[in-house]
Structure 1
Amino acid sequence: MSLFSNNHKLLPKLYYRCYSNPYYSTISSNSNNNNTSKRIFTVKGTINKPPFNSDSNNNSTNNRKLLKKRKKRAEFEKEYESYGQSWYDFKEFEKIPTVSSGIYSLDYKLGIGGIPLNHITEIYGDSSNGKSTLSMFLASRFQNQQLNSDDHDSTNNNNNNVLYIDTENSFNTEWSEKIGVDSSKCLVIQPQCAEDAFSIIENSLIQQRFKVIILDSVSSLIPYEDLSSLYINDKSYTNFNWLQKSLERISKIIRKSGTSLIFTNQTRYSISSNNNNNNGTTSINQDPYKNNNNNINSELTSFGNSILSPFIDIGLELKRDRYLVELSNNQQQQNIVGIKCQVLIKKNNLFIHSDSMLNSNYLKLFNQWTPTFDIHFKNGINNINSDDFKLLAQELNLPTTTTNVNEIDKLIKSKLFK
């Protein structure tokens, strides 16, 4: 009985044609009329598959390649000792030079001791929440303190050790002096377009002329194309190509500049991608405070967050906590004299460079603590160190019998760090 007599309908399910591969065997059929064999189909199998032949030449060439790779790796490990180590074998990471922000609880919570050099810091929040005031206060701290950097050459800096780029045309010299900024050592520039602002930043970083550069603010920057045209080019404005290219150049220069770059930014509600109009364009949430539609994404983010985020190492969000009230002379009327602001750490890529790990006993209490500072409308920011220290010590349930800032600092460090 022939193998393919009546079951040829099942052949497509079991067999397929393959005439050139030597690892396939041929099935023959013997017809009744003659004894000649005819190749009809080939079956995948191991009937004629030759046994594995271990070629000595191939093995020798493979061994030579492995020896070459091991030799190259050994040479590389001698040049770079950390290449062969695991992450838990490192004793310590690079110590980043910093300048204290003046808010000691913020310095502790950042883990590195203050605002870092050679990195970008972003301060964002709603309007009139103290972003410009805090940036000016940080500028005064850079003016009054020496940089904790051995690689930084102080001779490269001229008298204008602070560069303030004002894109909102709102810089007030009298208010900055109340906060503590020395206006004689602060250079204020008001660029016309975004390209001018970033070219000034790039040249200043290359020349290492300033200790700190403040850009106030990113959300007010407008490209030259939009300024020169009668209408706004929506495509270039929403894609932020100009911003990404500028940040790519700056991020390569700032690592060896010895300068701290601080951006201030506004908050925006993200554009909804699910809520589409009839014409195919996306719409935004017109009233995000009252709208409960789940299809509309009303998340509050900083302006250009998707572009800025890869280049920013520390992100601080400012929120207005409450108003500061003071009784009048009659003690019958309350007057608003200032605001209390909270500083929320939204991003910190440099915490791993901390000198010490937090004590587990105080870690929970410390994580619940939010750094704050007061802004007085008449006097600016005053006595921020002592007030913040006392509140932090009370939160950690530490006995504070003294008002000396240095003694409170030692007490907090002894309990907070191992």
Structure 2
Amino acid sequence: MNRMLKKWNRISLVKQIMIGLIIGIILALTIPETAGFVVIFGSLFVGALKAIAPVLVLFLVMSAIAQHKKGQQTNMKSVILLYLLGTFLASLIAVIGSFLFPVKITLVNGAEGLAAPGGVIEVLQTLLLNVVDNPFKALYNANFISILAWAILFGLALKNANDTTKTMIANFAEAISQIVRWVIKFAPLGIMGLVFESISTNGLGSLLGYGMLLGVLIGCMLFVAFVVNPLIVFGMIRQNPYPLVFKCIKESGITAFFTRSSASNIPVNMRLCENLGLNRDQYSVSIPLGATINMAGAAVTITVLTLAAVHTLEIQVDLPTAVILSILAAVSACGASGVAGGSLLLIPLACNLFGIPADIAMQVVGVGFIIGVLQDSFETALNSSTDVLFTAATEFKEWRKEGKMWNEGAGESS
């Protein structure tokens, strides 16, 4: 048994996850009656990530801010600009894709009882109110925008604290990071449970009627992930971006695809940033921030489903209106974390731009719920993996100025 464990531990985590994924698929197709036994692994894994992520963000950000010395360089402005640029370009790609491959959908109910926000102002207002949420309530509800804000404030307040206090906070941050490493060790079992549950309970039969819509939606997300994002990264680091892109997708995107939660994937992204040799002071802030405002996948979802409704109703759209839609979808997506229901409930905002009545817009939301199994998975994978990608790109740009290059094999500069 010890020999088997030693051999298993010598395999990289990504390969372990792929093994778990394959086993989950095989079990779901051959013995689906074992659901209760296998699914528990996925539930435990996601539950552990969700439980530790808020505490991890609070202490890491607080420690990083408190111990930040004046004169130390950070690239947060560049990271935020990349987040906003990536989200806008994703929406623009979705507009282009929707016009190249116009899709008409059969409108359905399925969103009854849900209330969409009344406008972008309401979305942003909700987001701002979440910032000043009670810190203990924010930790309990995993309100990351509030946790991030309070962590920054606590960190600033502790900048003049004595070294003993700062060391204690740093020790807490390191202890929580170690717990995260232990949790991530169980990722292969967790992914096995998650993929088993997805295949055995949801299936893909109900999605066949919306194949064209899913094709445009997923196609746009893949284009952003493998064309747009690499171009942005190349503009920053001036070297082949694909090794970094593939690493982020393998080690962050795959996990996010099955957990379907950017918040749950924060610990995974933190660990990946550490493996890449990035500055902890930066990624401890940029990763949780990205989980709240870096929403390229959400922007694609809002845009594609809105334009599907437009094509279904045969509404004519001119170029200026399409550009306005891109901006509206990008702004709305950035506020998606402050709205219950995420990106789907922001679709009526975009539909309102074309005068589509609320009752029809909510039927489009119903379609979104039907395809949500794949839509949400791809959306989260794109959002979460891009958090690490853009964080790394800004730091690698500084490495390039110093004459260093990122080495994929070493996982850091050379």
TM-score normalised to the size of structure 2? 0.22
- Structure number with greater Rg is 1
The structure richer in helix per residue is: 2
TM-score (norm 1): 0.22
Higher share of residues assigned strand: 1
